[in-house]
Every structure is written in C-alpha cells, then in structure tokens.
Amino acid sequence: MSKQLVAGVLMRIQLIYLVFLFTLTSIQAQPKITKLTGGHNAWPPYIEENGKGLINDIVSAAFRAQGIEFEIKTAPFSRIVMMVEDRQIDLVVALWTTEERRKNFLFSAPYFYNELVLVSKKTNSIDYQGLESLRYRSVATVRGYGYHVLLDSIDELGIIDVLNLHTCLEQVNKGRAEVAIADYLAFEYERSKKLEYNQLQAYHPALIHWPLHIGVSMLHPNADQIIKRFNLGLAQIQGSGEYNKILSTYIEDNRFKVALSTVP
C-alpha cells in the first residue's frame, strides 16, 4: 500500500473521528431535560380543573418513560397559547394541527383522535348534512380552537366564541346558540354530569376525526428535543400496554372504538 493511500485512509479516519466527536459534543451540550410544564384549558374528561385527566395521564406517562417529570397548568386556551409563546410554560398539551399553527409550532406524533360532532337541543333538531348543516345558523365555539378553520367557508354563520365546552353547551341549552361543536367524549362526559343536558343530542357521523398532539413553540430552545423525547416515550408506553390501560379507565362507550382504532 502506497504512502499516499495510507495517508488518505488515515485522513478519512481522522475526519470521521472528528465528526463523531462533534456529534457527541453536540448531544452532550444539550441541556438535560428533567421537568416540563404544559398547559390547556379545562376540558373534562381530558383535563380537569386541577390538570388531572386522560391527557395528563397519557402525556405524563410518555415523558415519565423518558425520565422527565411533567405537570399541567390550566387557564383559558388563548391564554395558554400566549404563555407558550412567552416561555412561561413549555408546551400546549393538546393541540390540533392547522396550516397557521405549523408556522409557529412543532407537533408530536398523534397520541389520540378526537371525534368532533355537532350538538343541538332535541327540541330544535337540525337536518344534519355535515358542516353544511351550519349554514345560516348560530354556533357556539371555544375561542382559539383549531376547528375554526373548518368554518371559514360556511355562508352566513354566526359564531359565538366562549371560553370552554361547558359554556358552549350552556349557550345551546339556553337557546342562545342553535348548535355547538364538541368532542363527542367530552360532550358525553358533560351530559353525564348535568341532568339538564339530557335534552341535548349529538349528530353522527362525526364532522371530523382529528389527531391530537402536543405542540411546542419553534422558538423554544429545546423544541426538537422535547418532541423527540415525547415521541420515544409514547412509543414505549404503547409497546408496553400502558397506553391502552390508561384509555380503558376512561373510555366505556363503544362509539369511541372509532377513535381508538386510529391511534397508531
């Protein structure tokens, strides 16, 4: 073997070693994440006023599998988004993707699928034809929720923005809005808690089955790492059976098998 060839091989080995050292140094230079804080508005049974609920259990389990402590703060949804943008908290714990949001947020793999439905009073039934059923109607919605993008093309739609689903249902129950948009599981949960809501009904098939993610601001210095760690943890709890065990404690209605069947 010629001296030139040996020198060339050694140079390549040195280059590979330097690249390895640089990569290793970059990984080690990243601050170790030990605790994260997420936020959302109260959204039972996903998120109770104290932060507990289905979402907390899933997200906490995924991060815990990666050795990360996690907690949830509750506040109005639009306020939570501002808190994430201002770095007061690390992530939005439950977020639907939209084109506009993808400009500012990194999204995890989906960890659940929401079944969005229309809700009206039984005494004020509508001829349900999907989103077109909303034409010329008043609809109660939660301010800042991603489903507003579905409403942009609906003619003569009167939107009543409120702070949470409970208030949406109150608007319909009291005749202030003709319909509300709701996640079906959350609607059934609210209906089970208040006798008056037995006069409300949901329409099927659902408007949309929408994947649910955690969202981290692109401006967060550890955004990529947070998303990667969550995705790894999610895969771990799905593989171990912990994920399905969590779901089984909350979901009893057979109609939710549609949502469960789409979870990877």
CATH architecture of 35-112+212-252: 3-Layer(aba) Sandwich (3.40)
pLDDT of residue 253: 46
The predicted pLDDT at position 91 comes to 98
pLDDT attached to residue 156: 87
**Predicted local distance difference test score (pLDDT) of residue 262:** 42
Structural tokens at position 96: 């639907």
Residue extents of the structural domains in the chain = 35-112+212-252, 114-208
pLDDT reported for residue 31: 67
Architecture, CATH, for domain 114-208? 3-Layer(aba) Sandwich (3.40)
Global confidence as pTM: 0.76
Q: What is the pLDDT of residue 82?
A: 94
pLDDT at 217: 97
Per-residue pLDDT of the chain (264 residues; tens, 9 = 90+): 444 433 343 344 344 334 444 444 444 455 689 999 999 999 988 999 999 999 999 999 999 999 999 999 999 999 999 999 999 999 999 999 989 999 999 999 999 999 999 999 999 999 999 998 999 999 999 998 888 888 888 888 999 999 899 999 999 999 999 999 999 989 988 998 899 999 999 999 999 899 999 999 999 999 999 999 999 999 999 999 999 999 888 766 444 444 444 444
**Do the domains at 35-112+212-252 and 114-208 have one common CATH topology?**
yes
Per-residue model confidence (pLDDT) at position 30: 59
